[in-house]
Every structure is written in C-alpha cells, then in structure tokens.
C-alpha cells in the first residue's frame, strides 16, 4: 500500500483512477486507528473501486488548551491496519503541505454556525470550523468520491452533510454505525487517555444514552423526564462529570421538544481532562437522512 504526502501527486493519481472509470471511496481520519475507523474502510472497500484514507491530525480543529501535542499517533501501525481492512492508498500530508504559511494564517474558513453552536460547539466553539475547513480542503484535493464518516461523531456528520449540500461538493456522504467495546463504550482514539478506574466507569455514558433512547422508544415524549433520568445515571458515577445531554432532531439538530420520531440522543462527559462523546437513536425509531446514504 502506498502513502502519498503531496497534494499535487494525490490529485494526479486520483484523476488517473477516475479517468479509467473507477469509483473512489474516501475515509478521512486523524489516525491511531481502531475498529471504528476500520469499519469505515471496509464499507468503502465493499462500495467502491479504490479506497483512500487520509491521515492528518488537523491543528485547525484543536483549541489552544486541547490535546494537539499529545494526540496519539502510530503511522506505521495505522498503515498495516488500514491495509488489512482493504485500504489502497494513504494520504498523509505534513502540516506545512496543508497550511503552507502555518495554520494561523488561514484566512478562509468554512463554518455551519446554525448546526455547530449547540452541544459540542458549546464546549469547543472553534472546533467545527476547523473540521469543516480541513474536510473542504480534503474534498477539493480528493475530488469526486464517496466519503465515509462515523455516526460516533453525529454532530460532525450532520454538519458535513449540510456543508456538502450547501456548497455542492461532488461528494456522496455516507454515515456508518458506531463501533463499541464489549461493555458499550464507543471506540475512540482518545480512550487510551483513560486510567483503569476511568475506563471501568466510562460505559456510564452509553448506559445513560441507552436508557434515554429506550424511554423514548417506549413512548416517553417529555424531554425533561428523559434528560433527568439520564442525568441521574451519570450522577451515579462519581468519577464522571456531565458536560451535556441533549435530545435533538436527527437531521436538523434542533432541540426535540416535545420528543418526536426521528430524534437522536447525544451526550458528553468528562473524566479529569478526558472528554468522551456518544449518541444513539431510539431503538425502532425512524432513521434520519443524516444516517443513511441519500446523497
């Protein structure tokens, strides 16, 4: 499997691939791959002819107080894992290739404030503009393709779908289900930051979201009651600090109040400096256009 680091070379190779009629599957990542990432590569493998994964820890989406410097990295292990899941090419640019004058001098950014201001955006106000800007750059480099994103980052998936629609990127966005550890914890590169006690406590988030999702599936439409029950469950875990719990429309991310069909339950908690996010659809509920391949 080949790793390409230059934008120009990447464009040349992919133009050639497309000119012979092959479909491109694209999986953007920040590396330190786990089964969640590999599931996206496998989906791309089964749908398309050439699978490319980007591996780029994007400084633009980290705030000054966040973990850019310590974000876990293992490029060689990533290449082996990606290849075994069916990846053909890795695009791994250096920061100066993506931001030649430094990320501080990027003057053009892409943002979707209406969808980015809630939930993650409250704790990480500059995060989604950094994500959208780098994803827009990657889409401009990779060109027409099917792009695979995890539902694990549900708000991100909704925002990218919107960006692609609003700006007419020639990209089909596909959402893939969250891959979990056996105890329910959503897989994440950041789970390695958890100490053993925190790791043991961490599934409280997926348990709380399952509880809320099940209450909704059972017919509860009172948002305050569902949130209260979830808060109580998070509160029962002394190591966990609640960041937010929310029930939103699965497509527009507007608050679902009262709760209606096609909603999504999302949440974030903290263990000291480690922040975990997760989300769920009520079992048996309608699937939204954010989750399914509809582009």
Binding residues for ligand AMP (CB under 6 A): 29-30, 36-37, 39-40, 149-150, 152-153, 176, 178-179, 186-189
User: Which residues are part of the catalytic machinery?
Assistant: 37
Q: How far is the CB of 175 from ligand AMP (least distance, A)?
A: 9
Q: How far is the CB of 57 from ligand AMP (least distance, A)?
A: 9
What 254-261 contacts at long range (C-beta under 8 Å, 24+ apart), as own/partner pairs, is 255/223, 256/223, 257/223, 258/221, 258/222, 258/223, 259/216, 259/220, 259/221, 259/222, 259/223, 259/226, 260/221, 261/285, 261/286
Q: How far is the CB of 192 from ligand AMP (least distance, A)?
A: 12
d(C-alpha 180, C-alpha 166), whole Å: 32
Cis previous bond, 23, omega within 30: no
Q: How far is the CB of 279 from ligand AMP (least distance, A)?
A: 11
Q: How far is the CB of 35 from ligand AMP (least distance, A)?
A: 7
């Amino acid at each position: 499997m080949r790793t390409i680091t230059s934008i120009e070379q990447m464009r040349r190779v992919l133009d050639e691939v497309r000119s012979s009629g092959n479909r491109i599957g694209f999986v953007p990542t920040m590396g330190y791959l786990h089964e969640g990432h590999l599931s996206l590569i496998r989906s791309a493998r089964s749908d398309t002819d050439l699978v490319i994964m980007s591996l780029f820890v994007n400084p633009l989406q980290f705030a000054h107080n966040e973990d850019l410097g310590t974000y876990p990295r293992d490029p060689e292990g990533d290449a082996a894992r990606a290849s075994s899941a069916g990846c053909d090419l890795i695009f791994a640019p250096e920061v100066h290739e993506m931001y030649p004058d430094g990320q501080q001098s990027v003057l053009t950014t892409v943002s979707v404030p209406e969808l980015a201001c809630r939930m993650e955006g409250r704790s990480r106000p500059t995060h989604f503009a950094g994500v959208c800007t780098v994803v827009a750059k990657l889409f401009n480099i990779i060109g027409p393709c099917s792009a695979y994103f995890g539902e694990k980052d549900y708000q991100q998936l909704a925002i990218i779908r919107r960006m692609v629609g609003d700006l007419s990127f020639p990209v089909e966005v596909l959402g893939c289900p969250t891959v979990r550890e056996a105890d329910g914890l959503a897989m994440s590169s950041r789970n390695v930051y958890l100490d053993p006690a925190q790791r043991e406590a961490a599934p409280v988030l997926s348990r709380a979201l399952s509880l809320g999702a099940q209450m909704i599936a059972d017919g509860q439409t009172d948002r305050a009651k569902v949130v209260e029950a979830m808060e109580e469950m998070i509160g029962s875990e002394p190591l966990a600090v609640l960041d937010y719990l929310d029930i939103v429309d699965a497509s527009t991310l507007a608050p679902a109040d009262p709760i209606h069909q096609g909603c999504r339950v999302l949440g974030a908690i903290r263990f000291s400096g480690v922040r975990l996010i997760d989300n769920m659809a009520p079992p048996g509920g309608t699937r939204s256009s954010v989750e399914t391949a509809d582009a």
